[in-house]
Structure 1
């Protein structure tokens, strides 16, 4: 399977900071839209959410800012499923542009399937599980993500 492209957009003027770079918050916005598109792909679109009362909540998100992104750059998000269990989904988004094979940014996220009436966690439905299994199968030959499960820490601690 070629990469699963979940979102495309040009960088908007109001998304850019005083240095001419994409503001930190807008990386997460772009990745959030990619998650929405993934939800549609796995059967958790607006109609399904309205019918089932189930959705995904983000439990944790890490962003790696790898290269600068400037105004009007056309970007897209590639999404890879890292893994899932009966009610959690671990995904990896990477942000790309035409001029480079390298990712501009990456975001690893842990999502939880939730019954909105609680709200409380709930197992995925069969349709979603089948869609996730299909994507995992289609992505089995993709290279492993470069920046998953990283932690923030200083390599050298200062005692002053």
Structure 2
């Protein structure tokens, strides 16, 4: 469980009791509840709502979870590797808004450089770019790439002239 690993890495973390899907911190009036992103999640109220791999979550599931945030003070953190160029996570990441956006790359962690390069050998370029460089790229090779389409619709880019 990731919460357990995180807690055990911090020598100053409070003592907690781990249940199958819940962590209780009896001296700190808090708990962490792990629940699936389904309508069954309705009814909880959370100070902090974390949507892990949000780019892969169904919009209906996100819609069911968002009302769980405590009114006025509830926080939302969405964590994900990129998926498609559509959906809740993509829109929040690419559109202008008040969300704080933090980009973290495995390729920038010195201790992981060798591992990342080893894994690069076993992945397609697109998969590596999506998983390790956090780029919103497709899963296949398009006839016309996104960069070509972006330049074609950019009025600052001149037309290609064949002479």
TM-score, length-scaled by structure 2: 0.29
Of structures 1 and 2, the larger Rg is shown by: 2
TM-score, length-scaled by structure 1: 0.29
Whose helix fraction is larger, Structure 1's or Structure 2's?
2
Which structure is higher in RCO with an 8 Å CA cutoff and minimum separation 6? 1
